[in-house]
Amino acid sequence: MEPAGAPPQGCAPAREAEEPPGSPALPAEEPPGEGALPAATGRERGRGCRGAGPQGPPERAARGRGRWAPGRRGGEEGARDGRRPRVTVDSSKAKTSLEALKISLRQLRWREFPFGRRLPCDIYWHGVSFHDNDIFSGQVNKFPGMTEMVRKITLSRAVRTMQDLFPLEYNFYPRSWILPEEFPLFVAEVRMMKDSDPSWKPTFIVKPDGGCQGDGIYLIKDPSDIRLAGSIQSRPAVVQEYICKPLLVDKLKFDIRLYVLLKSLEPLEIYIAKDGLSRFCTEPYQEPTLKNLHQVFMHLTNYSLNIHSGNFIHSDNANTGSKRTFSSILCKLSSRGADVKKLWSDIISLVIKTIIALTPELKVYYQSDIPAGKPGPTCFQILGFDILLLKNLKPMLLEVNANPSMRIEHEQELSPGVFENVPSPVDEEVKVAVIRDTLRLVDPQKKKRKDTQNCKLSNSNFSMASVDILYIDITRRWNSMGIDHKESGMCLQAFVEAFFCLAQKKYKSLPLHEQVASLIDFCEDHLAALDERRLVCGRGLVERRNAVVPCQSDGLPLTPAAHAPLLHRTATSSKFTDYRSHRC
Ligand code: ADP
- pLDDT per position as a tens digit, 231-248: 555 689 999 999 999 999
Q: Are 575 and 273 in contact (CB under 8 A)?
A: yes
Residue 404 beta carbon below 6 angstroms from any ligand 1 atom: no
Is the full-model pTM beyond 0.85?
A: no
- pLDDT of res. 219: 97
Of 506, 512, 572, whose CA–CA distance to 542 is shortest?
Answer: 572
Count of other CB atoms within 10 angstroms of residue 237: 26
Distances (CA, A) of 299 to 185, 255, 259, 423: 26, 11, 23, 27
- pLDDT of res. 89: 98
Nearest protein CA to atom 20 of ligand 1, as residue: 398
Residue 301 beta carbon below 6 angstroms from any ligand 1 atom: yes
Return the axis-axis angle of helices 98-108 and 58-66, rounded to nearest 10°.
40
User: What is the C-alpha separation between 219 and 25, in angstroms, rounded?
Assistant: 34
C-alpha 215 – ligand 1 centre gap (Å): 10
Distances (CA, A) of 409 to 41, 317, 394, 430: 10, 15, 31, 12
- pLDDT of res. 376: 86
C-alpha 3 – ligand 1 centre gap (Å): 9
Count of other CB atoms within 10 angstroms of residue 411: 19
Residue 247 beta carbon below 6 angstroms from any ligand 1 atom: no
Q: Which amino acid is at 31?
A: P
| 517 Cβ neighbours under 8 A, 6+ residues apart | none
Shortest-distance atom of ligand 1 to CA 215: 3
Exposed, middle or buried, 449 (CB in 10 Å: 0-12/13-18/19+)?
A: exposed
- pLDDT of res. 505: 85
- pLDDT of res. 555: 29
Those residues of the chain that have pLDDT short of 50 are 1-17, 19-80, 537-573, 580-584
Distances (CA, A) of 316 to 40, 172, 281, 405: 18, 32, 18, 18
Q: Are 162 and 169 in contact (CB under 8 A)?
A: yes
C-alpha 479 – ligand 1 centre gap (Å): 53
Sign of CA dihedral 186, 192, 193, 199: positive
CA angle, 98 then 255 then 571, to 5°: 65
- pLDDT of res. 489: 63
Give phi and psi for 27, each to the nearest 5. Answer: -60, 140
- pLDDT of res. 482: 63
Mutate to test the pocket of ligand 1, among 302, 383, 391 (most ligand atoms within 8 A of CB): 302
User: What is the C-alpha separation between 543 and 553, in angstroms, rounded?
Assistant: 8
- pLDDT of res. 3: 31
C-alpha 496 – ligand 1 centre gap (Å): 52
